[in-house]
Every structure is written in C-alpha cells, then in structure tokens.
Amino acid sequence: MSSEIEETGSHLLATLQIELDPALLDLALTHRSYSYEHGGIPTNERLEFLGDSILGQAVTVMLYTTFTDLDEGALAKRRASLVSTVALAEIARAIGLGEYIKLGRGEELTGGRDKASILADTVEAIIGATYLDQGPDVATALVLRLVAPLANDPLRFGVSMDPKTSLQELANRLGLEVPVYVLEESGPDHQKTFVATVTIAGPTPVVATGTGSSKKQAESGAAAAAFALLGASAGADQA
C-alpha cells in the first residue's frame, strides 16, 4: 500500500478513533465496482457480511441493557432503525466516509460516494475489519460510538424507520405545506441511480436531496435530510 493511501487512511482512522491494519482498511473501502475495473481484486463484501452481524449484536445488547422498560416489539423497532441503510448512510456522511471509498468510474460518475447503500455497506465493512484486527471489544465500542448520535435522539427512531411519514407529520405539526418529491434517474436499466428532491413550501422553503439505487431509497434519504433541516430550524426558532 502506498504512503499516500496510508496517510489518507490515517485521517479516517483518527475520526473513527481506532487503529487498523492499512491493508485491511484498504479492503474495507474497496467497492465491487472498483474491483471489476481492476482485475477482480478482493472487495469489501465479506467484511460487510461480518460487520452486519457485529453491528446487530452490539446494538441489540445496548438497547436491551439501556431501555429496560421497553418490550420486545419496541426494542426490535429501535434496533431496525439504528441498523437501517438510511441510518448507516447518515452516520457515514457525518464522518465524511464517502471520500475514502474506492469506486469504479461508473459509480463515481453516478454519485456513488453519496449513495446510501454504498455508504451503509462500507460502514459495516469497517466494523468487520475492526473486529478481525482489534477484536470484539474494540469493534463493539466503535459501533456504539457510531450509533450514539442516533440512539440518543428519540426522534430519530421514527425517522429512520419511516422518513417520509415522519417528515410529513413534522411539517403538519409546524403548519407547513405537504412535502413534494421530484425524482430523476440516470444510468443503464440494470444499474440505475435515482436522485430525489423534496421541497416543503413556506416563507423559508426547505429543500433536500437523497440518492439511492431505488426510488424508495432516494426519497427516504431526501426525507431524512429534510427532517434534520426542518428539526434544526424549528429548534432555532424556539431558542
């Protein structure tokens, strides 16, 4: 691995507050589109598989021990919200993960660095790599740091589960217009990219976008982003 890649990776590791073998980090950041264009080198998909399991276990234990008054159904909903593609993509964006991912040219040109599925999969791959290199305790601690901003905000549970409904309910509570979505698509039929833009009209219009490999994913991402903007604006108005 080149010194340039190692230096770039060190910035990400500092953000994540972990140590990781450079080669393993490089693997965790390698998307399959990059592999296809570079002779079929290994991708992060196996690490993603492992990380998904570690993520689920860590979040399950955290919720069980923290929310002792919640029944099984409520715990299951909270877990689903914290490990969802929308939630993991939000976590990835917060730490600037997209800029580090190794993508093929096609994904690069179609907004792959902000595609929710790619971001979420890469978060899971990094968790898997951390487990292999640093062990279960460090991997669990990483998971808890990553999900803490969402887990500590009860509004986020509903948003992660159903962003569009949550946004519409918030807009209604604030006396605003119904959110309106506009969808654009690009790419070949077998690998389309969708970009959704949601607008809430008003004295100060709220506009947000989301990207995904499906219409639902793009609109959910846009709704989650708009909810965050609208919630922050409402909080500032009340301050």
**Contact criterion met (CB below 8 Å) for 222 and 208:** yes
Task: Say which of 26, 90, 107, 124 is annotated catalytic.
Answer: 124
Task: Say which of 52, 90, 107, 219 is annotated catalytic.
Answer: 52
The ranges assigned to domains in the chain are 1-152, 159-233
**Contact criterion met (CB below 8 Å) for 236 and 223:** no
> Residue 6: what pLDDT?
56
Q: Which two tokens stand for residue 184?
A: 């654009």
Q: Does domain 1-152 have CATH number 1.10.1520.10?
A: yes
How many CA within 13 A on the CB side of residue 44? 30
> Residue 157: what pLDDT?
61
* Distance of alpha carbon 181 from the chain centroid: 21
The answer on whether 121 is annotated among ligand-binding residues is yes
- Reference 219, options 188, 198, 204; nearest CA is 198
- What is the spatial distance between Cα 227 and Cα 141, in angstroms, rounded to a whole number? 28
- What is the spatial distance between Cα 203 and Cα 175, in angstroms, rounded to a whole number? 12
**Contact criterion met (CB below 8 Å) for 199 and 211:** no
| Residue 124: active-site member | yes
Helix axis angle, 72-82 relative to 45-66, nearest 10°?
140
The answer on whether 114 is annotated among ligand-binding residues is no
Successive 10-residue mean pLDDT values, the chain, 239 residues: 58 93 95 93 97 97 90 87 89 94 91 91 98 97 93 65 82 90 88 91 89 88 88 54
pTM of structure: 0.69
Fold held by 159-233: Double Stranded RNA Binding Domain (3.30.160)
The answer on whether 177 is annotated among ligand-binding residues is no
> Residue 138: what pLDDT?
97
Residue with tokens 């792959």: 112
